[in-house]
A and B are shown apart, each in its own frame.
Chain A
Amino acid sequence: MSAEPDVVRERIEQLYRSDSRRVLATLIRLLGDFDLAEEAMQDAFTAAVARWPADGIPDHPRTWLVSAGRFKAIDRLRRRATFDATLAPMLRRVGESAEQPDVDDDQVEDDRLRLIFTCCHPALGMDAQVALTLREVCGLTTEEIAHAYLTPAPTLAQRIVRAKVKIRDANIPYQVPTRTALPSRLGAVLHVIYLVFNEGYSASSGSAVVRHDLSNEAITLGRLLVQLLPEPEAYGLLALMLLHDARRAARVSADGELVLLDDQDRSLWNRAQIAEGCTLAEKALTTGPVGPYGLQAAIAAVHCEAESANRTDWPQIVGLYDLLLRLEPTPIVELNRAVAVAMQEGPAKGLALIDAIVRRGQLGDYHHVHSARADLLRQLGRGSEAIEAYERALNLNTQEPERRFLSRRIAELRSA
Chain B
Amino acid sequence: MRYLCLIYDNEQAWGKMPKEESDAVFGEYFTFTEGIKQSGQHLGGEALQPTPTATTVRVRNGKVTTTDGPFAETKEQLGGYYLIDARDLNDAIQVAAKIPSARYGSVEIRPIMEFTAM
Contact = CB atoms under 8 A, between A and B. Distances in A.
Interface residues of A, number: 13
A173 B90 contact: yes
B118 interface: yes
B93 interface: yes
B111 A173 contact: no
A385 B117 CA distance: 73
Contacts of B93: 123
B116 A123 contact: no
Given A85-B118, A86-B116, A123-B93, A172 B111 contact: no
Contact of B1 (A86, A89, A171, A175): A171
Nearest to B118: A85
B88 A172 contact: yes
For chain B, give the interface size range: 10 to 19
Contact of A172 (B90, B113, B116, B118): B90
A393 to B, nearest CB: 35
Main secondary structure of the interface of A (DSSP, over half): loop
A89 B118 CA distance: 11
Interface string A82-107: 00011001000000000000000000
Given A85-B118, A89-B116, A170 B89 contact: yes
Contacts of A272: none
Contact of B89 (A86, A89, A123, A181): A123
A171 B89 contact: yes
Nearest to A117: B90
A170 B116 CA distance: 16
Interface of B: 1, 87-91, 93, 109, 111, 113, 116, 118
Interface of A: 85-86, 89, 121, 123, 169-173, 175, 177, 181
